[in-house]
Amino acid sequence: MKSVLHLTCFAAFLLASPLGAQTYNCALKDGRNSGWTPDKLVFEIVEGAKTARTYDPITYSIKGEMAEANIATANSVRVSLGWKSGRYQNPNARPSRDFAGTGALPITFHATLLRGGNKILLRASPGGLNTFFSAKGACVETSTRLEQLIDP
């Protein structure tokens, strides 16, 4: 019986995030339905690290793996991250006078989590466009490993 309990505890330890890591599972809403922002963001930060692992469906669809984000700020008030997606063909992009609307564009993402209420703001800046798109949402801190929260 003891060995079963030890195996169960060991399995739970392996499924948990790395020691000292904080994992956030975020749901996002793009009010403009621009297609430039994902509806989900999952990220994992480790105390004192300069980079974080992130998952969003747009970047994952391009790279086939999680992205490494630079941590600009990580304190008791907020966490700010930035990463690049690679070239993305937005299915919602419409041609206009200033933008042909064709071709894949790289996207630079910036996310800021306010820890007090776990509210998040994600900004997407497609390369070649003189604007950014944003999505707002909420995050839940979880002890589940990042890999278990993604749906590729």
How far apart (Å, rounded) are the C-alpha atoms in residues 26 and 127? 24
What's the pTM? 0.81
pLDDT per residue over 25-76, tens digit each?
999 999 888 899 999 999 999 988 999 999 999 999 999 999 999 999 999 9
For 23, list phi and psi in degrees, rounded to 5.
Answer: -110, 130
* Maximum separation of any 2 CA atoms in the chain, in Å: 72
Task: Please give the mean pLDDT across all residues of the chain.
Answer: 84
The CATH number of 18-149 is 2.40.160
